Amino acid sequence: MMSRQGQAEHVPATNHSPHWTGDSNVSNKICDKSNLRHFYKRIEMHAYIFEQGGGWIKSSKDAIYISAKAMKITWGQDPRFWRWVQVSKDKLPGDLAKDELGFDSVAELVQVSWLEATGSVDLASLKEQLSPSKTYQVIFHVKFKVDAFGWSKSPVMLLLVSPDGRREKRSEMVDSYRVRGADVWHEIRGGEFRVLANAAGKVEFGMLDVENQRWKGGLLLAGVTIRPKN
């Protein structure tokens, strides 16, 4: 899928952000002697494990946490359209602010006319974390700045591909979240799925607006949580 950004069409389009596919410091942090004891304790308790996405996808019992750094964001490398903001733990949404996760950045949308942020998780390695008897939901964690613009007439398409291949999509006017409050984290439901009996397959999700070509900005994306439906 090719991106179009008005006058910036000469910039090579990309549907991924390789700069954020991993953190070379993750293994160093684990191997540090001062951290080994705590790391092994977490493993023994089946608490948090380093699974996928270069350390930016982590899991606990019945939940998966995906940092925005593990997602594919069109134009995510171009600071004219997106920029990456380092934040303290207390500035992250509750799900992603846990000490064990170590997440420290959010993606800030400066301005685009082509919004495309997608991600996926391979469930094969999470057999002990997820239960086939439960329904799980995908939650996008977003925030709108006070000066956010372009959302009132820009519906966002939320896509989900379940492990069994079932596809789900729905359109939502996310401007309603902006109206509820700026500079606070909102949870946008991205769909639901059930885990296969053998926990095989992959779940894919996305938040897109690639049709109306309206310019928009002022949105922050912290990441995604996959957790049991209440």
210 occurs within a structural domain: yes
Nearest to 166 by CA among 124, 130, 196, 134: 196
Letter for the amino acid at 50? F
Kind of pairing between the strands at 57-60 and 202-209: unpaired
92 occurs within a structural domain: yes
99 occurs within a structural domain: yes
Which CATH number does the domain housing residue 198 bear? 2.60.120.260
Tokens standing for residue 9: 């069409």
Tens digit of pLDDT for each residue in 196-226? 877 678 999 999 999 888 999 999 999 999 9
CA atoms of 98 and 56, how far apart (whole Å): 13
Q: Element (H or E) spanning 37, and its range? A: helix 33-44
Residues 6+ apart with CB under 8 A from 31: none
Give strand ranges (E) for the chain.
49-52, 57-60, 63-67, 72-73, 82-86, 105-109, 115-122, 135-149, 156-161, 167-172, 185-194, 202-209, 217-228
4 occurs within a structural domain: no
Look up the pTM and report it: 0.77
Mean pLDDT computed over every residue of the chain: 80
CA atoms of 187 and 207, how far apart (whole Å): 13
The total of structural domains in the chain comes to 1
9 occurs within a structural domain: no
8 occurs within a structural domain: no
2 occurs within a structural domain: no
* pLDDT over 90 (residue 11): no
Domain that holds residue 71: 14-228
46 occurs within a structural domain: yes
pLDDT band, very low/low/confident/very high, at 132 (cuts 50, 70, 90):
confident
Q: Quote the pLDDT of residue 171.
A: 96
Q: Quote the pLDDT of residue 20.
A: 33
